[in-house]
Amino acid sequence: MSRALAGVLAVLVTTGWAANHFAAMIPVLREHEGLSRALLDAVFGIYALGLLPGLVGGGALSDRVGRAAVVLPGATIALAGTVLLLVRHDAAGLVAGRLVVGIGAGLAIGAGTAWATDLRGKVGTVLAGVALSSGFALGPFVSGLLAEFGPRPLSLPFVLSAVLSAAAVAAAAVWSRSAHYAAAELQPVVPGHDRSVAGALSWSLPLAPWVFACVTVAFVTFPARISSEYAGPALTGAAALLALGSGIVVQAAARRREWGPQAGTVGAVLAGLGFLLVGAGGTHPPLWLLPVAAPVLGVAYGLCLREGLLDLESLAPKTSRGTLTGVFYVGTYLGFALPVLLVVLEPVTGASLPLFALAVPAFAVALVRARRLAVAEHPRAVDVPRG
C-alpha cells in the first residue's frame, strides 16, 4: 500500500470516527446536561444537513480541482466542528458543532472515497468502505468506554477525536505531495460496458438508503429503547461496534471470496429482516435481542455499502466519479434521519409499525435487483458467493 493511500484511509477512519462517536455521547449529555432524547436524536441526525451539500458539491469540485484540495480542507472543517462540540454543550452549540462536522465530513468522505479509487481502483474502493466503517465503529465504541469509565466524560472523547483527526490530516497532507495526478487519467476502463451517469446510479442508488438506516437503528434506536437498567454510553458503543464490526467483517469476506453484485441483493434482504427483528422487540426490547439484530443490520450495512460503491467503480464515467460517489453517499446518509423520525412517529404509530413498514421497500429493492441481474448484463456479474 502506498503512503498516499494510507493517508487517505487514515482521513476516512478519523472522519468516520468524528461523525459517529456522538452516538455514544447522547446518554452522557442527557444525564449531565439534562437534554431531551428527542433533541439529542435530532442533533445526531442534523449533521446530515451539512453533510449532504458537502457530499455532492465536494465530489463535483474534486473532479475539477483534485481530490486533496477538497479532502484535506474538509477533514480540517470536521476537526473544527469536533472542537466546537468540546467547548459547547448547550443546544445551540451542539447543533452548530454537528452541522460543522457534517459539512467537513461531506467534503472529505465522498471525495476521499473517489481518491482511494483513483489510487488503487476496485481495491481502493473496497478499502475506503472498510476504513470509513472502521471509523464509524471505533468512534462510538471508544468514546462510550471513555465516557462510561474514564475521567471527564463530557470532554475526553472529543479531545481524542480531535487529536486523531489532526494527526490524520497532517499525515495525508505530507504523504500526498508525491502523488499529484489528474484523477481522470487513472480511471480504469471496463471493456465491453458503457459507462453512464444514469446506468451507474440506477444500480447503486437503490442500495444507498439501507446503509446507514440499518446501523443507526442498531446503535441509536435500539439502545434507546432498552430498559434504563442497561442504558448508557457503553451499551451504545457496544451496539455500534457489533453492528459496524459485522459490516467490516462481511466486506473483508466479500473481497476475499470475490462476491459479485448479487451480494447487494442479500444486503437488502438482510436490511428488511433486521427491521423486522427490531420491530418485533417493541417499545422495550429484551437485551438478548441486541446481539441477534445488530449483526444482521451490520451485515446489511456492509453489503449495501460495498456493492453500491463497486457499482459506481464499475459503471461511472471517468469524469464524474467524485460527483456520483457524493450522490451515492447522500442517499446513504438519509438513514441518519431515521432515529429521530421513529421517535416522532412512535406516539402515533407505536414502536413497531414503522419498522415493519420499512422492511417492505427493502425487500422490494432486493427483488428488483435480483430480477435485473437475471436479465441484464453487469460488469461484475459472477456467481455469489464464490467459495
Q: Which domains can be identified in the chain, with CATH numbers?
A: 3-174+195-375 (1.20.1250.20)
| pLDDT digits 0-9 by tens, 5-23 | 999 999 999 999 999 898 8
| pLDDT digits 0-9 by tens, 244-272 | 999 999 998 998 888 889 999 999 999 99
Q: pLDDT confidence of 131, banded at 50, 70, 90?
A: very high
Residue 161: burial class (beta carbons within 10 Å; 0-12, 13-18, 19+) = buried
User: Between 145 and 10, whose confidence is greater?
Assistant: 10
| pLDDT digits 0-9 by tens, 303-339 | 999 999 999 988 888 788 888 988 998 899 888 889 8
Tell me the backbone φ, ψ of residue 2, rounded to 5 degrees. Answer: -75, 155
8 A C-beta contact, residue 66 and residue 368: no
Q: Which pLDDT score, from 0 to 100, does residue 227 have?
A: 66
Instruction: Compute the distance between CA of residue 222 and CA of residue 339 in angstroms, rounded to an integer.
Output: 9
Q: Which pLDDT score, from 0 to 100, does residue 269 have?
A: 98
* Cell numbers representing residue 183 in the block: 484523477
Q: What is the pTM of this model?
A: 0.81
Instruction: Compute the distance between CA of residue 112 and CA of residue 226 in angstroms, rounded to an integer.
Output: 36
Which residue matches cell numbers 473517489? 114
In this structure, what DSSP letter does residue 286 have? -
8 A C-beta contact, residue 303 and residue 181: no
| pLDDT digits 0-9 by tens, 149-179 | 888 899 999 999 999 999 999 999 998 876 5
Instruction: Compute the distance between CA of residue 52 and CA of residue 22 in angstroms, rounded to an integer.
Output: 18
8 A C-beta contact, residue 140 and residue 24: yes
Nearest to 85 by CA among 75, 72, 99: 99
Helix (H, G, I), strand (E, B) or coil at 35: coil
* Cell numbers representing residue 382 in the block: 459472477
Say which amino acid occupies 28: V
Which residue matches cell numbers 452522557? 28
Other Cβ atoms less than 10 A from the Cβ of 196: the count is: 13
Report CA torsion sign: 11, 158, 216, 296: positive
Instruction: Compute the distance between CA of residue 196 and CA of residue 190 in angstroms, rounded to an integer.
Output: 12
8 A C-beta contact, residue 323 and residue 56: yes
